[in-house]
Structure 1
Amino acid sequence: MNPSPLLPEQLYWHCPLEWLRAEPEAEPGRDITRQPLGQTRALEALEFAVEMPQKGYNLYVAGSVGLGRHDLARQQIGAWAGRQEPASDLCYIHNFESEHRPCALVLPAGTARELQRDIDDLLEHLLTAIPDIFRSEEYRARRDELKQALEEREEQAFSALVQRARALGIGVVRTPSGYTIGPLREGEFISPEEFGKLPAEEQQRLKDNIEQVNIDLKETLGQALRWHEQLAEDVKQLNSEYLHLTLDERIDWLRRRYLGSKTVQAFIENIKREVTQNTDDFRAAGERGEKEGIAPAKLIRASEFTRFRVNILVDNGGAHGAPVVYEDNPTYHNLLGRVEYESQMGALLTNFSLVKSGALHRANGGCLILDAHRLLVTPYVWETLKRALRSQEIRIQPLELQLGLLSTSSLEPEPIPLQLNVVLVGERWIYHLLKAHDSEFSQLFKVYADFSEDITRDRHSVLAYARWIDALVKSEKLRPLSAAAVARVIEQAARVSADAQKLSLHREWLADMLREAGYWCRHESDSRVEPAHVQKAIEKREYRQRQLQERMQEAVERDILMIDTAGEQVAQINGLSVIQLGDTAFGRPSRITATARLGSGKMVDIERETELGGPLHSKGVLILGAFLANRYAPSEPLSLSASLVFEQSYGPVDGDSASLAELCALLSAIAQVPLRQSFAVTGSVNQLGRVQAIGGVNEKIEGFFELCQARGLDGNQGVIIPAANVQHLMLKQEVVAAVRAQQFSIYAVAQVDEALALLSGLDAGSPGDDGRFPAQSFNGQVQKRLRRLEETRTRLLQQELDAGVQPPAPVGENKEKKPDRDRY
């Protein structure tokens, strides 16, 4: 019995307006557009991940683009972070023992800014106070006393030296260029001529005395040098004594203020020691600042004072709760941080103050959200992130040095302890790819949050969806929607989900639909959005993207692409496929033809032989061979060779949704029974002849309908679809109207025999107890042709045997010579 055509009510599931009558206003203060509609499973996984304190419970958020994964994840994580304590401040300070290895400081939130301010205040105070100290009368008096005491000692020592020399007849005179030593006569130096007239013994005695005075002078000068060194120490001690008058009080205050941090205490002690040892730097800088009118706040930025300052990487002083960081551009340096360089005299130099934070630093103690695809396509970043999560520390290592691109001095900053949750947001295929090929992924990302693409369409969900629409309209400040317009949007959401019993949760699509409907409402100067505005938005969006579809439709109408929509043909049928281009999909009819002749049971898939057929299509063709053998020749070989092809198809073909059409064309070729060309067929078939559901059913029906409509609807055209796809139907209103006017028909079939009966007008037939089908039935004619082919093959083989021709060896017995499988 032929199946009946579907009723118009089965082609489009309307949204009852009574489901929307109780639509409440959105709750004040709540943005329902960001509420977890239909995402309970994913949000429970997200909450579990951020609450787990153990290592490795990082999260992968999966779902397609447009679901609002990023926004919803950030919202939920933000709510969790708001209940947590603020994270620690992170700083780097100078390492006074090893300057190329800066020390890390992890301080309570807000402490870093206070420490930096206190240290800067100390430096500014010293730059002002130290010059004042050294200008004070008291200091100068004491320093002058030290100098005067030294000068007196030097004068006494020199006077004693002169007296000792005079006793030996030698004079010693201090001159600007040094000391003059020579023999004396009556208190005056004698000239060289006079010295030469002296007796030899006298000359020798004077020379010996001069040598002795020279030795005495050297000893006196050496003693004076030691006195000067002692004076320098005494002055330094004096400087330190006066410095401590202004330094100790400040240092003691800092010690008390940061008593709880041993690292800060050590830093303060290092500052005290360095300031004491380098007082002249502060004195000179302070005097220069006074002379040039430079404020101390600017002076402390000079390079000689950099080592005393604090480099804040992360300041959480004003934060409320734990940090939540979304890094949109996860490059190596943006994630891990970097060491910058300054050019000085042609050389690149760096110090701890040029260490900059990365996303890991800013998110430390909270949560870091990353886009999985961007992370994986950026070089060196994925391994860097895994290393940080494994070691639970942030180690800044300049990438340039690792790659050998920079040969200059660099830093090795002390690692900073890492404690955070990482959330990767990406598509499902990325997750499964990492799961299969990265052994560390499962250890580091133990939680999987899979966002739903749709929700079940029932009264409760429709009402929640309506609230979602209303809140989104208000948040976007759009024109309000009437109840009928809301119903039309909900119906389109079911169409987008490709299932009449589901509603799409793609927030971006919904927002775009409401914006565009609002645009046409404003364009027509209406106060609120009506169904006509929604419909116009749908049609205009389709119009903007359907140029390729129209070109292909034109090619069919002009018989460039040959598709029949009337008459009957043997071994020819209209199949239906879907072309997907980005977010646009449309149906395209295709002619499928088959041939059948005497052979050895080989099924030739021309698409596969030309490497245009994908694996799923090839699987579908192989199933057809199994169906033929199982139904018509369960206990004997098939004496048949057949071929199948998509005519005028010049690109890849995949999927098994054409296997029902291919089977009908093949059976028509075998039985030599014509098929109605006014029908198009889609559906998958299994080895038992059951018709299975396929995708894109709405687009496929509409694609053939548009062709028939262009040529003129005569009431005989229609589409055959799987019965399992009836629940997915959300067809355009022009299709539903044509069905209601009995100008177009849609049939749902569950067995291949139902499709054969519709296409051929013959009864498909049922096998009797002996396995034979009725002779005049479609299956009976297929069976009869196959038996004729078998009889012909048997007769030909017998003739060859009678003529002494050796028959082909069975496959596997002769490996040297392969038999001709297509001989008959």
Structure 2
Amino acid sequence: MKELSVDKLKKYIDPNLFNFETTETIKPLEGLIGQERAKESMEFGLKIKQKGYNIFITGLTGTGKSSFALNSVNKIAPLEKVPDDWVYVFNFDKPSQPIAINLKPGDGRQFQNDMRDFVEQLQREVPKAFNSKSYDLQKNEIVKKFQDRKNELIQELNELAKNFGFVLKETKTGIVSIPVIDGKQISNEEYEQLEDEKRKEIETKAVNFEEKALQIWKDIQNIDKETRDAIHELDNNVGLFAVGHLIDDLREKYGNYNSVMKYLDSVQKDILENLDNFRSDDEEDNQFPFIIKRNKKDFLKKYSVNLFVDNSHTNGAPVVVEYNPNYNNVLGSIEYESDFGVAITDFTKIKAGALHKANGGYIILQAKDILTYPYVWDALKRTLKTDKIAIENVTSSYGLLSISSLKPEPIELNVKVILIGTPYLYYILYNYDDDFKKLFKVKVDFNDVMELNDENISKMASFIKKHCIEDKLRPFHNTGVAKVIEYSTRVSEDQNKLTTQFNDIVEILYESNIWAEIDESEVVMAKHVEKAIKEKIKRVNMIEEKYIDYFKDGTFLIDVDGEKVGVVNGLSVINLGDYRFGKPSRITVTTYPGEEGVVNIERETKMSGHIHDKGVMIITGFIGNRYALDFPLTLSARICFEQLYEGVEGDSASSTELYGLLSSLADVPIKQGIAVTGSVNQFGVIQPVGGVTHKIEGFYKLCKVKGLTGDQGVIIPEQNSNNLVLDDEVIDACKKRKFHIYTAKTIDEGMEILTGEKMSVINERVKSKLKSFYDILTRDKESANKERNV
């Protein structure tokens, strides 16, 4: 048991320790402070390339995980190989399944440009070839050659018809044979008026004529087919002459790519099969030129190249940070456009996602975002398990919307995924997602504190200098630097630690700079840092002030002077998210003969958590172990947190409750000017708790409102002395002996401070009271038994 001296109430940083007056004369920080374990884990995770060794960086918000991840990757990525470009091209055999082709970095863009130039040349060269005099002469020769033969057969057919008494006439439905009688062609009406015998004679001749003419007709049809075939062959030769040298140029340039060579063969074949689409249509004065132009554009699109991933300007392995990781942004997408109300698409509308762009390199994602966006987590795991990334329309793949779509060829995936998240997310995934532990085998764990030593103090000064440069802040005076470091120990809640939640520190730097600007100071001094801290608290502590007002006007009934039996002031911490403060609570205890034991009223009203319930049960163990070894423990006690409406959890008040219980049993009053925090075990040893700084400051503010008497203070566990980082006002009150901070190792030490009595006296009185309870219950039971016997 001891009262702490003023120099033990916070960590003081002497500005004279620094070998500079302002940060203007020191070097800025390079790298990260105080995360050696994380650095080693990250280096290992980046070096190992086997499957499943993706990285999960975990730690509290504001510790610099994201910037650390990016900086770590950016150091090694430029030293690694630049991955291939990827393009998608039209699949002439299966149009709904575009083909993926990988090319060396830069060749993808070149191939896209070359195919664009190829199509432009194609539209010039093909019409030019078919509009040439040479083509017309060759075509006319073919037509004339076959037409002469055809004319001879037609003449032969006409002679045959004449011999059978018919003349051939061409109609809209074809060539028909018309009977001739006496040198005159007869009509259908005249034919019907002929005698039956004459008609039969004509019909017989007609049958015989058709039999004889059939072979001639076949010969004529064969000549027509030979004509078409000859013209088609001529067209192919002319087309090949126009296209062949263009294709050959591409084959020579991309001969090392088998997939490109195969694609160019398909291109040439398709062009030769669709030469009519390239001929000029001067003779077609169509009334819908826009439709014709669009149809031609759609036809030519299949010869274009979709440059899917372009690494022509990538330096080393790609590094991608996706800040909006929805399904399309991560996994890629297929876009659509509306054509007269119908959704249509093609291979040129396939868009790369972050995974495609990071292929062959690294991708950094926020775990919370990945889990928040629908379908992304499952899709990411699937790609990492298969080492392939397929582009699917998410609405179709999950059956949300039936729509005709493409099925592009999947791309081989080789990427290191770096997820960043909280420890809570990490353990949830590790314990409840079997795939997670197989795919993310490297954990990079960020500590929220680091040692307070000369090296880290120096690095903190360099950290401040770095932000002065990056964020264009005023230089910090060494007194200002000292105050920032002291603030860092307050955030860490440990005199021997500095926080690594650098976002909190950076905010203080920004705000201190503003107060220096308002003060028209060229450098940031200690007073500006102090002002920034106070104003930061002032912006968020309205609820705390309301609590103090309730105490001041008597709404909250808490005494901070005098003495009372069975009443003790406990301390808790209210966490609002952006602000934490200590809230004193009055704990009352009543005791009387009975066998109910120690009853926690909060538990009975379902306002108590499991840990608090455990603490109350420990109190029963302490009482029984110390005072009821000679006789059974016969006690009924009620413990209550007065004016508590939001519930209670934790065991930090268990020692406080025990003090109240002992006070009630011993009938010894407790000093109301001393508040208590700390948990206790069954042997009466005080155990450390959290939030001691906020708890002390909270009680001090209540005492200050009523007036400091010089006898007020707080008892904390001895192990918590290093956690004290009190503000200067409380320390000043302690220096003036108006407020006191005590530490206690055991319940005995604490009771002596609270009551001013020796623990031996209190023990005797408690044991005597419990023995009297036992005697009363024993006497009552005996009386009850006698009455029943009578």
Alignment counterpart, residue 737 of structure 1, candidates 729, 732, 735: 732
Alignment counterpart, residue 7 of structure 2, candidates 6, 9, 30: 9
1:531 aligns with 2:522: no
Name the SS for the 1:125 alignment partner.
helix
Which amino acid letter does the alignment assign opposite residue 5 of structure 1? E
Structure 2: how far apart are the matches of 1:193 and 1:685?
127
For residue 537 of structure 1, report the CA deviation from its aligned partner. 0.7
| 2:57 and 2:421 in contact (8 A); partners too | yes
Q: CA 1:162/1:301 → structure 2, altered by over 3 Å: closer, same or farther? A: closer
Q: CA 1:183/1:101 → structure 2, altered by over 3 Å: closer, same or farther? A: closer
| 1:601 and 1:638 in contact (8 A); partners too | no
Alignment counterpart, residue 302 of structure 2, candidates 307, 311, 331: 307
State the partner residue of 2:327: 332
Structure 1: how far apart are the matches of 2:189 and 2:546?
126
Structure 2: how far apart are the matches of 1:170 and 1:681?
130
Of residues 793-802 and 672-681 in structure 1, the stretch that sits farther from structure 2 once superposed is 793-802
Q: CA 1:731/1:194 → structure 2, altered by over 3 Å: closer, same or farther? A: closer
State the partner residue of 1:142: 138
| 1:601 and 1:637 in contact (8 A); partners too | no
Residues 660-679 of structure 1 aligned to structure 2 (within 5 Å): 660-679=655-674
State the partner residue of 2:350: 355
Of residues 217-226 and 443-452 in structure 1, the stretch that sits farther from structure 2 once superposed is 217-226
State the partner residue of 1:20: 18
Structure 1: how far apart are the matches of 2:42 and 2:3?
48
State the partner residue of 2:419: 424
Q: CA 1:287/1:630 → structure 2, altered by over 3 Å: closer, same or farther? A: farther
Alignment counterpart, residue 692 of structure 1, candidates 687, 690, 708: 687
| 1:19 and 1:462 in contact (8 A); partners too | no
Of residues 665-674 and 741-750 in structure 1, the stretch that sits farther from structure 2 once superposed is 741-750
1:787 aligns with 2:771: yes
Of residues 641-650 and 778-787 in structure 1, the stretch that sits farther from structure 2 once superposed is 778-787
Q: CA 1:428/1:301 → structure 2, altered by over 3 Å: closer, same or farther? A: farther
Residues 321-720 of structure 1 aligned to structure 2 (within 5 Å): 321-600=316-595, 602-720=597-715
| 2:32 and 2:68 in contact (8 A); partners too | yes
For residue 4 of structure 1, report the CA deviation from its aligned partner. 4.0
Of residues 796-805 and 103-112 in structure 1, the stretch that sits farther from structure 2 once superposed is 796-805
Name the SS for the 1:803 alignment partner.
helix
Which amino acid letter does the alignment assign opposite residue 561 of structure 2? A
Deviation readout 1:136-169 (Å, 9 max, x if unpaired): 0101111111222232222222222223333444
For residue 402 of structure 1, report the CA deviation from its aligned partner. 3.4
Structure 2: how far apart are the matches of 1:659 and 1:466?
42
Q: CA 1:207/1:27 → structure 2, altered by over 3 Å: closer, same or farther? A: farther
Name the SS for the 1:638 alignment partner.
coil
Of residues 308-317 and 739-748 in structure 1, the stretch that sits farther from structure 2 once superposed is 308-317
For residue 291 of structure 1, report the CA deviation from its aligned partner. 13
Structure 2: how far apart are the matches of 1:207 and 1:5?
138
State the partner residue of 2:80: 84
For residue 309 of structure 1, report the CA deviation from its aligned partner. 2.2
Structure 2: how far apart are the matches of 1:60 and 1:403?
28
Which amino acid letter does the alignment assign opposite residue 446 of structure 1? K
State the partner residue of 2:57: 61
Deviation readout 1:23-79 (Å, 9 max, x if unpaired): 897999x962x6121112112211211211111111110011111211111111121
Q: CA 1:587/1:275 → structure 2, altered by over 3 Å: closer, same or farther? A: same
Deviation readout 1:303-343 (Å, 9 max, x if unpaired): 21232222222111111111122222222232222233333
Name the SS for the 1:370 alignment partner.
strand
For residue 599 of structure 1, report the CA deviation from its aligned partner. 1.6
Alignment counterpart, residue 263 of structure 2, candidates 256, 267, 272: 267
Name structure 2 gaps, 5 residues minimum.
Answer: none
Name the SS for the 2:278 alignment partner.
helix
Alignment counterpart, residue 758 of structure 1, candidates 753, 757, 767: 753
Alignment counterpart, residue 114 of structure 2, candidates 115, 118, 121: 118
Structure 1: how far apart are the matches of 2:637 and 2:187?
137
Which amino acid letter does the alignment assign opposite residue 779 of structure 1? N
Q: CA 1:201/1:655 → structure 2, altered by over 3 Å: closer, same or farther? A: closer
Of residues 5-14 and 533-542 in structure 1, the stretch that sits farther from structure 2 once superposed is 5-14
Structure 1: how far apart are the matches of 2:392 and 2:655?
61
What is the percent sequence identity of the aligned residues? 35
Alignment counterpart, residue 727 of structure 1, candidates 716, 722, 728: 722
Q: CA 1:474/1:175 → structure 2, altered by over 3 Å: closer, same or farther? A: closer
Of residues 70-79 and 202-211 in structure 1, the stretch that sits farther from structure 2 once superposed is 202-211
Which amino acid letter does the alignment assign opposite residue 774 of structure 2? E
Structure 1: how far apart are the matches of 2:179 and 2:368?
97
| 2:334 and 2:345 in contact (8 A); partners too | yes
Structure 2: how far apart are the matches of 1:193 and 1:377?
87
Of residues 130-139 and 82-91 in structure 1, the stretch that sits farther from structure 2 once superposed is 82-91
TM-score (normalizing by structure 2): 0.94
Q: CA 1:654/1:791 → structure 2, altered by over 3 Å: closer, same or farther? A: same
State the partner residue of 2:233: 237
Q: CA 1:177/1:61 → structure 2, altered by over 3 Å: closer, same or farther? A: closer
Structure 2: how far apart are the matches of 1:285 and 1:737?
97
For residue 734 of structure 1, report the CA deviation from its aligned partner. 1.0
Name the SS for the 1:500 alignment partner.
coil
Q: CA 1:57/1:570 → structure 2, altered by over 3 Å: closer, same or farther? A: same
For residue 703 of structure 1, report the CA deviation from its aligned partner. 0.7
Structure 2: how far apart are the matches of 1:40 and 1:377?
31
Structure 2: how far apart are the matches of 1:496 and 1:178?
100
Q: CA 1:421/1:301 → structure 2, altered by over 3 Å: closer, same or farther? A: farther
Q: CA 1:287/1:61 → structure 2, altered by over 3 Å: closer, same or farther? A: farther
For residue 405 of structure 1, report the CA deviation from its aligned partner. 2.8
| Alignment RMSD (CA, Å) | 2.8
Name the SS for the 2:473 alignment partner.
coil
State the partner residue of 2:251: 255
Name the SS for the 1:97 alignment partner.
coil
Name structure 1 gaps, 5 residues minimum.
Answer: 766-776, 807-824
Q: CA 1:7/1:348 → structure 2, altered by over 3 Å: closer, same or farther? A: same
State the partner residue of 1:151: 147
TM-score (normalizing by structure 1): 0.90
Structure 2: how far apart are the matches of 1:520 and 1:413?
59
Structure 1: how far apart are the matches of 2:149 and 2:600?
117
Structure 1: how far apart are the matches of 2:102 and 2:662?
78
Deviation readout 1:759-790 (Å, 9 max, x if unpaired): 1111112xxxxxxxxxxx12221122112222
Name the SS for the 1:455 alignment partner.
strand
Name the SS for the 1:545 alignment partner.
coil
1:748 aligns with 2:743: yes
Name the SS for the 2:128 alignment partner.
helix
